[in-house]
Amino acid sequence: MIQQATPAHDRIEVAIQIAAILLKQKGELSIRDIKAIPFLSNSQEVTRVIEYLVSHFHGEIYQKKVSSRPIARWEKFIRIRSER
């Protein structure tokens, strides 16, 4: 018997595809951008997408200053590690 994927699983798979395309295209992707994917409904789904990207792309999470006025604002990003 073929098992049907759950709607949550389907949403996460689509979110992973979107995030992976953006990460490959830009070389980095903010965690904030992942959280903004509209059909991720909770923090566990966001965490699963982040974990997939980090493991699949050998990525790393780092903080980057995105603005400096009036108070510096930092965001977390995932980037693809450069190959040696």
Residue 23, domain member (yes or no): yes
User: Which CATH number does the domain housing residue 73 bear?
Assistant: 1.10.10
- 2 part of a folded domain: no
Q: pLDDT by residue (tens digit) across 6-62?
A: 787 898 999 999 999 999 999 999 999 999 999 899 999 999 999 999 999 999 999
Quick one: 12 exposed, middle or buried, by C-beta within 10 A (0-12, 13-18, 19+)?
A: buried
Cβ of 54: how many Cβ atoms within 10 Å? 16
Write the pLDDT tens digit of every residue in 71-84: 888 999 999 986 53
Position 84 scores a pLDDT of 39
Number of domains in the chain: 1
User: What's the confidence (pLDDT) of residue 69?
Assistant: 80
Asked if residue 1 is part of any domain, the answer here is no
- Report the pLDDT value the prediction gives residue 6, as an integer from 0 to 100: 78
State the angle between helix axes of 43-56 and 7-26 in degrees (0 to 180), rounded to the nearest 10.
Answer: 50
Domain encompassing residue 36: 7-80
Residue 4 has pLDDT above 90, yes or no: no
Residue 73: inside a domain: yes
Confidence at residue 36, expressed as pLDDT on a 0 to 100 scale: 95
